[in-house]
Structure 1
Amino acid sequence: MGLKEEFEEYAEKAKQLPENTSNDDKLILYGLFKQATVGNVNTSRPGMFNMRDRAKWDAWKAIEGKTQEEAMNDYITKVKQLQEAASS
């Protein structure tokens, strides 16, 4: 299985993470997913009254410069960590 297929598999698994997954972890996954699928941030930062989208944008911006392959690998690793934490 190639990296892209494995990434897509773990993107599906991420949807089944428990409800109590922290917002910080969700933001990390969001940033890695966007970097892996889109690349560097290509939009302007949302306004200060749009806190949710602003946090998501910041999470994506924080990993700017990672290659798409690095982001895919990091995403897979993070989902595995969260799955292990949820099952223990």
Structure 2
Amino acid sequence: MSLDEKFNASAEKVKTFTKRPTDEELLQIYALFKQATVGDNDTEKPGLLDLKGKAKWSAWSEKKGMSKDAAKQAYIELVEKLSASYL
């Protein structure tokens, strides 16, 4: 299975979680997914009142400089680790 196939399978597996991961885990899932699919965050930082948007923006920005392939691999590993607790 190629890296892209494993990544896509992991993205589908997240949707099957029966329990909700913690907020921090969700932010890491989001940040790695965005880094793997889009690359470095070059969007404008959300406003002060958008707390959820700011948290997501910050988590993604922390991954700056990580290659898409490295982000895909990290995403796959994180989903595998979390699936033991949430499936």
Corresponding position of 1:76? 76
Q: Which residue of 1 aligns with 2:12?
A: 12
The aligned runs of 1:1-88 (5 Å cut-off) are 1-86=1-86
Amino acid at match of 1:8: N
* Structure 2 CA distance for aligned equivalents of residues 15 and 27 of structure 1: 15
Tell me, which stretches of 5 or more residues in structure 1 are unaligned? Answer: none
One-letter code aligned to 2:78: K
Following superposition, the deviation at residue 37 of structure 1 comes to 0.1
Point out where structure 2 has 5 or more consecutive residues left out of the alignment. Answer: none
Query: Normalising by structure 1, what TM-score?
Result: 0.92
Question: Which runs of at least 4 in structure 1 moved beyond 6 Å after TM superposition?
Answer: none
Q: Report the Cα distance in structure 2 between the residues aligned to 1:32 and 1:3, rounded to whole angstroms.
A: 14
What value does the CA root-mean-square deviation take over the aligned residues? 1.1
One-letter amino acid of the counterpart of residue 26, structure 2: K
How high is the sequence identity, in percent, across the aligned residues?
Answer: 37
For the 8 Å contact 2:19–2:86, the answer to whether it is kept is no
Specify the code of the residue in structure 2 equivalent to 1:55: A
TM-score of the superposition, structure 2-length normalised? 0.93
- The residue type equivalent to 1:22 in the other structure is T
Query: Cα offset for 1:84?
Result: 1.4
